Amino acid sequence: MQKLESRHINVHYGTTQALKDINIGIDANTVTALIGPSGCGKSTYLRLFNRMNDLIDGIKIEGQIFVDGKDIYEKGTNVDSLRKNTGMVFQKPNPFPKTIFENVAYGLRVNGITDQKFIEERVETSIQQVVLWDEVKDKLKKSAFELSGGQQQRLCIARALAIQPSIILMDEPTSALDPISTAKIEELIHELKTKYTIVIVTHNMQQAARVSDHTAFFYLGELVEFGITKEIFTNPKREKTQNYITGRFG
Amino acid sequence: MKTSYKKISEKLIESLLFVSSMVTSLTVILIVIFLFKEGLSVFNETPVEAGNVIAVNKKNPLSSLSSEQIKNIFDQKITHWNEVAGSKDSILLFRLEDISNYYTDEQIGENFEHLPECISKVVDSIPGILAFFPEKYLSKNFHGKKIEFNKIALKEFFLGKEWFPTAQPAAQLGVLPLILGTLWVSFGAILLALPLGLAAAIYMSEIAKPKVRNVMKPLIELLAGIPSVVYGFFGLVVIVPLIQKLFDLPVGETGLAGSIVLGIMALPTIITISEDAMRNTPRAMKEASLALGASKWQTIYKIVIPYSISGITAGAILGIGRAIGETMAVLMVTGNAAVIPHSILEPMRTIPATIAAELGEAPDGGLHFKALFALGCILFIITLCINLIVEYVSGRKTHKAH
């Protein structure tokens, strides 16, 4: 059984079709990169896995998404617990207007955990996981806005890890960061792979090549090619893929 | 040739813009200066209207009286001179018309030509007398003692418990009841409007479907456009009788009626400003909260409200500001009793309502007139403070979010 699977996914925003019949299976403990030019539907696709698209008015979703073999778009699905099992990292660092500690503790608190000692331990391990502990351990009570952009993004990853998800969705997590912070996050993705299933949307070809095991190339709402990253980048089967990864368009 | 023409027109436009901005700023400054010049001059006045004299027997050791003492004497609450550090005699009030008790019309003379002399003799003959008469009847060799009036003191003005600017012989200018009335009514208004406004703002920005919001928002903004006299009329016809019935009061015109009307008037300000602030919460921040398994309501009260708290505060304070300055509606429903309120169910009088109600009957340049300007100054300072607080609170947000 695959960790994540989409079957015949069609998504419409009003009259425009954003995704056309997407079928992908993603194994546990792998990194899958979603690439393609802007507006190709890769972010929309990513956000299907924790039902973030539900918030958008006038969206119509057809098909099935399986997480651990269960269709999450079936009636009666508990969306909150689905999201608790799925960490999400966004394009820009988006810490809450709270202290560093409270940012990471947030996911635990909203899920009803009140044991302060447990929260403290979980916050510490989560921040250690993203290699931020030494930088922030003395200022946990300070506002998260005082951190640099790269630190904020790692804090946001720690925030996602604190609720111990099995899946991490990343929507262009390094697009607002400098090269050094980007390198740190990529390194982190490598380490996290052993524990989590990661899906990452990226505009950066090199990043996709560096961090992912599988790559899916989207174009105008269609899945053009999906396969092992090495093959996609060295020996793509479709001409469109070849043109995109060599920078001829997009 | 063409470029120089362009330059000249450019200069012309620039100077036009400069002049208009200068004119507006100057107007504002001039109004403020005028307000304070008139308002502060009340402290150079004595509470007894110019042209009148208060005199006592020359053996009386008394030298000055405050306006409150004068009033109490004339109300016969003070009946003995030793209560105001005077002689041991009891007080005998003497007004101009009382002269007929002492002298006949012939003695006074057909054209009152002997009146000053007669007054002088009366004052001289009665030890406990307090005489109040126009200055023009003051004899050249007056045998009594003229009393000096204290100027109106700041303390007396702000802490005086009675507002009775037309009282004779001494005006009572205590603004405390008016300030308290204003604060009670405004505070009550905000107490009613804040929870309701906040709830509506949350609903509109976070929960309502776009269709519902597109109907509600213009409706609420329409509420801001209704003239205040209409609110007042509505309050007078609907709310006042309702309160009277509900609380079984002798009159329905109470502070509560004013609070309700003002609360309704403050709602659009509170709702629109705090709703805008909430809608400014970055979408990504809300999504991050939801992605962590938070429910919609958890996201609202743990993320959206803390993020937009400065905007919400600004809306609330501006709402208070509107309530404090509002005149017409309050004038119509609060009952306008200038006494220190003890409960919200009593008639009250606010500062703006006082100015509006009394300015018409205050003689130009007189004491009453100046006192009303001083009230205007107080109101100006209160609203200025409110605006400064709003400025500070909303400035803090831009600093934080950078």
Q: ipTM of this predicted complex?
A: 0.89
Residue B288 to residue A91, Cβ atoms within 8 A: no
Residue B289 to residue A92, Cβ atoms within 8 A: no
Residues in chain A within 8 Å Cβ distance of B298: 110
Q: What is the DSSP string of A177-246?
A: S-HHHHHHHHHHHHHHTTT-EEEEE-S-HHHHHHH-SEEEEEETTEEEEEEEHHHHHHS-SSHHHHHHHT
Cβ-Cβ contacts under 8 Å between A and B: the total is 73
| Same-domain status, B127 and B200 | no
Amino acid at B193: A
Q: Which residues of B touch A (CB under 8 A)?
A: 209-210, 282, 284-285, 287-295, 298, 302-303, 306-307, 400-402
| Same-domain status, B348 and B205 | yes
Q: Classify residue B4: in a domain, yes or no.
A: no
Residues in chain A within 8 Å Cβ distance of B307: 96-97
| Same-domain status, B209 and B87 | no
Q: What is the CATH number of the domain that holds B133?
A: 3.40.190.10
| Residue A55 DSSP symbol | G
| Same-domain status, B131 and B186 | no
Residue B288 to residue A94, Cβ atoms within 8 A: yes
Residue where a domain terminates, one of B152, B184, B219: B152
The minimal CB distance from B291 to the residues A50, A96, A109 is found for: A50
Predicted pLDDT of residue B1:
59
| Same-domain status, B114 and B259 | no
Q: Tell me the residue range of the domain where A30 lies.
A: 1-77+196-250
Residue A110 to residue B294, Cβ atoms within 8 A: yes
Q: Classify residue A118: in a domain, yes or no.
A: no
A 142-161 residues with CB below 8 A of B? Answer: 143, 145, 156, 159-160
Q: Could you list the pLDDT tens digit for every one of the 402 residues in chain B?
A: 567 888 999 999 999 999 999 999 999 999 999 999 989 988 888 887 777 888 888 888 877 777 778 888 888 888 888 877 777 788 888 888 888 888 888 888 878 888 888 888 888 888 888 888 888 888 877 888 888 777 888 888 888 888 888 877 788 888 999 999 999 999 999 999 999 999 999 999 999 988 999 999 999 999 888 999 999 999 999 999 999 999 998 888 999 999 999 999 999 999 999 999 999 999 889 999 999 989 999 999 899 998 999 899 999 888 888 888 888 899 999 988 888 888 889 999 999 999 999 988 888 888 899 999 999 999 999 989 988 988 888 776 544 444
Number of domains chain B contains:
2
Q: Classify residue A137: in a domain, yes or no.
A: no
Q: Classify residue A201: in a domain, yes or no.
A: yes
- Alpha carbon of B223: minimum distance to chain A alpha carbons (Å): 29
Number of domains chain A contains:
1
**Across residues A181-191, what is the average pLDDT?**
90
pLDDT digits 0-9 by tens, A217-226 = 999 999 999 9
Q: Classify residue A239: in a domain, yes or no.
A: yes
3-state secondary structure of B64: strand
Residues in chain B within 8 Å Cβ distance of A55: 287, 290
Q: Classify residue A44: in a domain, yes or no.
A: yes
Amino acid at A136: V
Q: Classify residue B33: in a domain, yes or no.
A: no
- Alpha carbon of A96: minimum distance to chain B alpha carbons (Å): 7
Q: Model's pTM, two decimal places?
A: 0.79
- Asked if A57 has any chain B CB less than 8 Å from its own CB, the reply is yes
Q: Residue A16 belongs to what H/E stretch?
A: strand A16-26
Q: In a mutagenesis test of the A interface, which of B214, B285, B287, B292 is the best target, namely the one with the most A β-carbons within 10 Å? A: B292
Predicted pLDDT of residue B51:
76
Residues in chain B within 8 Å Cβ distance of A91: 284
CA distance B377 to B175: 12
Q: Classify residue B47: in a domain, yes or no.
A: no
How many other CB atoms sit within 10 Å of the CB of residue B350? Answer: 32
Predicted pLDDT of residue A88:
93
Q: What is the CATH number of the domain that holds A28?
A: 3.40.50.300
Q: Classify residue B46: in a domain, yes or no.
A: no
Q: Classify residue A83: in a domain, yes or no.
A: no
Q: Classify residue B268: in a domain, yes or no.
A: yes
The minimal CB distance from A107 to the residues B287, B293, B400 is found for: B293
| Same-domain status, B109 and B146 | yes
CA distance B265 to B263: 5
Q: What is the DSSP string of A135-169?
A: HHTT-TTSBGGGS-HHHHHHHHHHHHHHT--SEEE
| Same-domain status, B381 and B271 | yes
- Alpha carbon of B270: minimum distance to chain A alpha carbons (Å): 23
Residue A106 to residue B292, Cβ atoms within 8 A: yes
Residue B284 to residue A84, Cβ atoms within 8 A: no
CA distance B235 to A116: 52
Q: Classify residue A200: in a domain, yes or no.
A: yes
Using pLDDT thresholds of 50, 70 and 90, give the confidence band for residue A122: very high
Using pLDDT thresholds of 50, 70 and 90, give the confidence band for residue A141: very high
Residue of B nearest to A160 (CA): B292
Residue A94 to residue B289, Cβ atoms within 8 A: no
Q: Tell me the residue range of the domain where B253 lies.
A: 176-401
Residue A160 to residue B290, Cβ atoms within 8 A: no
Residues sharing a CB contact under 8 Å with residue B343, sequence separation 6 or more, in sequence order? B255
Predicted pLDDT of residue A211:
93
Q: Which of B54, B52, B55 is nearest to B123 (CA)?
A: B55
Q: Classify residue B7: in a domain, yes or no.
A: no
Predicted pLDDT of residue B337:
86
The alpha carbon of B335 is separated from its chain's Cα centroid by a whole number of angstroms, namely 15
CA distance B174 to B196: 35
| Same-domain status, B100 and B189 | no
CA distance A199 to A3: 11
Q: The tokens 């269960």 sit on which residue?
A: A70
Q: Classify residue B358: in a domain, yes or no.
A: yes
CB A224, CB A242: distance < 8 Å? no
Q: Classify residue A145: in a domain, yes or no.
A: no
- Alpha carbon of A110: minimum distance to chain B alpha carbons (Å): 5
Residues in chain A within 8 Å Cβ distance of B209: 57
